[in-house]
Amino acid sequence: MGDAGGTEPTGATERFGIEWTNYYQITDQLSLDFDATWSRARFLDGGDENHVPGAIETSVAAGLAYDFEGGHFAALRGRYFGPRDLEETGAVRSTSSLLFNAQAAYRVNPDLMVKLSVFNLFDREVSDIEYFYPSRLPGENAGPDDGGFNDVHFHPAEPFSVRVGLAMAF
């Protein structure tokens, strides 16, 4: 259940979909990658409650990278996760999320790189993951849903942040 970290067996599922992966070297310095997926997951014996909670339906990851002369490198990446079912009837769905990250780097030598990474470039307030399960706050009366109240619980995406890193190969 949700963040409890538990695993429990469920019924058999059927999943099908399409994945499209692309990498294009536009020039010697500029490259583009684009990955898109669409899938459908259903429990085989679920009747009207055959949606697989958390099974992502649509995702897109794309990036544009430029390798400058003299060891400099820059990249912009985007990630989209579409809405997904959070419970078996399909009545409760997650929100979608779209995030952009950027990176710039300098290769000091073939074994040493200094990096500047910017996460959540546009400071979007979206969820990294969402769950639907009953819960209640301390001191709150018991609710009708297994002693709590059914609700969407989420882990927010990291806010805008900047990190400096050093990568060394040896």
**Digitized pLDDT (tens) for each residue of the chain, 170 residues in all:** 445 566 777 889 999 999 999 999 999 999 999 999 999 999 998 788 999 999 999 999 999 999 998 889 999 999 999 999 999 999 999 999 999 999 999 999 989 999 999 999 999 999 999 999 999 999 999 999 999 999 999 999 999 999 999 999 99
C-alpha of 159 from chain center: 14
Give residue 1's pLDDT.
Answer: 47
> Residue with structure tokens 């709150």?
140
CA gap 94, 85 in Å, rounded: 6
For the whole model, what pTM was predicted?
A: 0.85
Number of CB atoms found within 10 A of residue 98's CB: 14
Cα dihedral 50, 53, 54, 59, rounded to 10, equals 30
Q: What is the DSSP letter of 120?
A: S
Question: What's the Rg (C-alpha) of the chain?
Answer: 21
Domain count, the chain: 1
Percent composition of the chain: helix, strand, coil (DSSP 3-state, to 5) = 5, 60, 40
Give residue 76's pLDDT.
Answer: 98
Catalogue the E-assigned strands of 26-110. 30-43, 58-67, 72-81, 97-109
Domain that residue 34 falls in: 2-168
